[in-house]
Structure 1
Amino acid sequence: MEAKTEACAKLIRGQFPVIDSDLFQYIQDVIQMSGDDFEQDEDVFEAVGGFLQECDVSKSEEDIKSLCNGIFGLLHGESGNKSNGNSGQRILDAPVQMKDIGGNSANGQEEPAGSIWIQKIEDNLSVDKKKLEKAEQMLLKKMDRKEKVEKPAANRYKSHEATASQVISKKDAKAEASNLQTKDIRIENFDISFGDHVLLRGANLVLTFGRRYGMVGRNGMGKSTLLRMISSGQLVIPSHISILHVEQEVTGDDTIALQSVLESLEKRESLLREEKEINQTINDGGDPALSSRLTEIYAELEAMESDKAPSKASVILAGLGFNAEMQARPTKTFSGGWRMRLALARALFCKPDLLLLDEPTNMLDMQAIIWLERYLQTWGTTLLVVSHDRNFLDEVPTDMLHLHSQRIDTYRGNYTEFNNTMTERLKSQQREYEAQMDYRKHVQEFIDKFRFNAKRASLVQSRIKQLERLPELKPIEKETDVVLKFPDVEKLSPPILMLSSVTFNYDKNRTIFSNVDLSATMESRICIVGENGAGKTTLLKILMDQLTPTSGDRTAHRNLKFGYFSQHHVDQLDMSICSVELMQKEFPGFKVEEYRRMLGSFGVTGEMALQQISSLSGGQKSRVAFAILCAHKPNFLILDEPTNHLDIQTIEALGNGLLKYKGGVILVSHDERLIRMVCQELWVCSKGRVYSLEGGFDEYRAIIEKELVLA
Structure 2
Amino acid sequence: MALISLKSLGVTMRAPLFCNLDLTIGTGDRLGIVAANGRGKSTLLKCLTGEMEPTSGDITRTRGLRVGYVEQAVPAALAEHGFQRVVADALPAEQAESEQWRVDVVLDSLDIPQPMRERPMRALSGGWQRLALIARVWVTDPDVLLLDEPTNHLDLAKISQLETWLNTLPREVPVVIASHDRAFLDATTNRTLFLRPEQSPVFSLPYSKARDALSEVDASTERKFQRDMKVAQQLRRQAAKLNNIGINSGSDLLTVKTKQLNQRAQRLEEVAAPAHREKSAGAIKLANRGTHAKVLITLDDLAVETPDRTPLFRTGKRHICQGDRIVLLGRNGVGKSRLISLIRNAIIEPETAVQGVKVTPSTVLGYSDQALSGISAEHTPLAMLSRSFDVGEQRARSLLAGAGVSIDMQERSIGVLSGGQKARLMMLALRLANPNFYLLDEPTNHLDIDGQEALETELLAHQASCVLASHDRSFIRAIGNRFWLIEKRRLTEIDSPEDFFRSVAEGNG
Indicate the TM-score class for this superposition, using the shorter chain for normalisation. Answer: 0.7 to 0.9
State the AA in 2 paired with 1:358.
D
- What SS is found at the alignment partner of 1:370? helix
Shift of residue 263, structure 1, vs aligned partner: 0.8
Correspondent of 2:329 among 526, 529, 536: 529
Amino acid at match of 2:501: R
Q: Deviations over 1:262-304 (max 9, x none)?
A: 515504x74353xxxxxxxxxxxxxxxxxxxxxxx6xxx5xxx
With 450-459 and 537-546 compared, the bigger mean Cα shift is at 450-459
Aligned to 1:73: none
Partner of 1:433: 225
Please state if 1:644 is matched with 2:445.
yes
Structure 2: which 5+ runs fail to align?
A: none
Indicate which of 431, 438, 462 corresponds to 1:661. Answer: 462
Question: Partners in 2 of 1:509 and 1:616 — Cα distance?
Answer: 36
Q: Which residue of 2 aligns with 1:493?
A: 293
- Partners of 2:121 and 2:242 in 1: CA distance: 83
**Equivalent residue for 2:473?**
672
Distance 1:497 1:608, change over 3 A: farther
* Deviation for aligned residue 1:539: 1.8
1:523-554: per-residue Cα shift (whole Å, max 9, x none)?
221111222222221221122227999x9623
| Deviation (angstroms), 1:564 | 1.6
Q: Does 1:314 align with 2:314?
A: no
Q: Which of residues 478, 481, 491 is equivalent to 2:277? A: 478
Q: 2:4 aligns with which of 159, 165, 184?
A: 184
Structure 1 partner of 2:497: 697
Q: Which moved more, 1:423-432 or 1:639-648?
A: 423-432
SS of residue in 1 equivalent to 2:333: coil
- Larger relative CO (CA 8 A, sep 6+): 1 or 2? 2
Residue 382 of structure 2 is matched in structure 1 by: 580
What TM-score comes out, normalization by structure 2 length? Answer: 0.81
Residues 429, 476 of structure 1: 8 Å contact kept: yes
2:17 to 200, 205, 218: 200
Shift of 1:483: 5.7
Over 3 Å counting, the alpha-carbon distance change for 1:640 and 1:705 in structure 2 is same
> Please, what is the CA RMSD of the aligned residues?
3.7
Code of the aligned partner of 2:175: L
Check the 8 A contact 1:574/1:582 in 2, yes or no.
no
**2:368 paired residue number:** 565
1:266 is paired with a residue whose SS is coil
> Could you tell me which residue of structure 2 aligns to residue 632 of structure 1?
433
Deviation at 1:313, TM superposition (A): 1.5
C-alpha change, 1:323 and 1:511, in structure 2 (3 Å) is farther
Alpha carbons 1:501, 1:516 under 8 Å: kept: yes
Q: Taking structure 1 as reference, are residues 232 and 623 closer, same or farther at Cα in structure 2, changes over 3 Å only?
A: farther
Q: How far apart, CA to CA, are the structure 2 residues paired with 1:227 and 1:615? A: 23
Matched residues in 2 for 1:418 and 1:326: separation?
38
Report the AA paired with residue 275 of structure 2: I
- The one of 70, 73, 95 aligned to 1:271: 95
Residue of structure 1 aligned with 2:177, choices 367, 372, 385: 385
Aligned match of 1:123 = none
Deviation, structure 1 residue 226: 4.0
- For residue 312 of structure 1, report the CA deviation from its aligned partner: 4.1
| Superposition TM-score, scaled by structure 1 size | 0.60
Q: Distance in 2 between matches of 1:642 and 1:572?
A: 14
Counterpart of 1:518 (choices 318, 329, 332) is 318
Match of 1:242 in 2: 67
Partner of 1:224: 42
Please state how far the C-alpha of 1:639 moved relative to its aligned partner: 0.7
Identical-residue share of aligned pairs (%)? 23
Cα distance in 2, alignment partners of residues 376 and 663 from structure 1: 37
Partners of 1:508 and 1:229 lie apart in 2 by: 48
Q: How much does 1:632 deviate?
A: 2.5
Looking at structure 2, the residues matched to 439 and 332 of structure 1 have their Cα atoms a distance apart, in angstroms, of 64
State the structure with more CA Rg.
1
C-alpha distance in 2 between matches for 1:468 and 1:603: 38
1:214 aligns with 2:4: no
Conserved? CA contact 1:528–1:683, under 8 Å: yes
CA pair 598-472 structure 1, distance change in 2 beyond 3 A: closer
| 1:402 and 2:226 correspond | no
Residues 291-327 of structure 1 show CA distances to partners (whole Å, capped at 9, x for unaligned) of xxxxxx6xxx5xxxx65752442230x2xxx545444
Deviation at 1:569, TM superposition (A): 1.7
Task: Give me the whole-angstrom Cα distance separating, in 1, the residues matched to 2:140 and 2:156.
Answer: 24
Alignment of 1:59-458 (within 5 A): 183-186=3-6, 188-193=8-13, 197-200=14-17, 202-204=19-21, 206-210=23-27, 211-228=29-46, 233-235=51-53, 240-249=65-74, 251-253=78-80, 255=82, 257=83, 259-260=84-85, 262-263=87-88, 266-267=91-92, 270-271=94-95, 273=97, 307=101, 310-316=104-110, 318=111, 322-327=112-117, 329=119, 331-380=121-170, 381-405=173-197, 408-451=200-243, 452=246, 453-454=251-252, 456=254
Post-superposition shift, 1:622?
Answer: 0.8
Q: Please give the alpha-carbon distance, in whole angstroms, between the structure 1 residues aligned to 2:296 and 2:273.
A: 55
Which one-letter code corresponds to 1:402 in the other structure? F
The size of the alignment, in residue pairs, is: 485
Assess if the C-alpha contact under 8 Å between 2:18 and 2:40 holds in 1: no
**Compared with structure 1, are the counterparts of its residues 697 and 440 closer, same or farther at alpha carbon in structure 2 (3 Å cutoff)?**
same
Letter of the aligned partner of 1:372 in structure 2?
L
Q: Which amino acid is the alignment partner of residue 15 of structure 2?
A: V
Q: Tell me the SS of whatever aligns to 1:364.
A: coil
1:360 Cα shift? 2.0
Deviation at 1:641, TM superposition (A): 0.8
Q: Which runs of 5+ in 1 are unaligned?
A: 1-180, 274-296
Contact kept? 2:288, 2:435, Cα under 8 Å: no
Contact 2:191/2:205 (<8 A) preserved: yes
Give the Cα separation in 2 of the matches to 1:532 and 1:682. Answer: 16
Q: 2 CA distance for matches of 1:537 and 1:408?
A: 39
Letter in 2 for 1:360: P
Q: Which structure dedicates a bigger proportion of its chain to helix?
A: 1
Evaluate the alpha carbon distance shift between residue 434 and residue 351 of structure 1 in structure 2; reply closer, same or farther with a 3 A threshold: same
- 1:489/1:662 contact within 8 Å kept: no
Task: Please give the per-residue CA displacement for 1:351-387, whole angstroms capped at 9, x wherever unaligned.
Answer: 4334332322231222222232232234442322221
Q: Distance in 2 between matches of 1:262 and 1:475?
A: 49
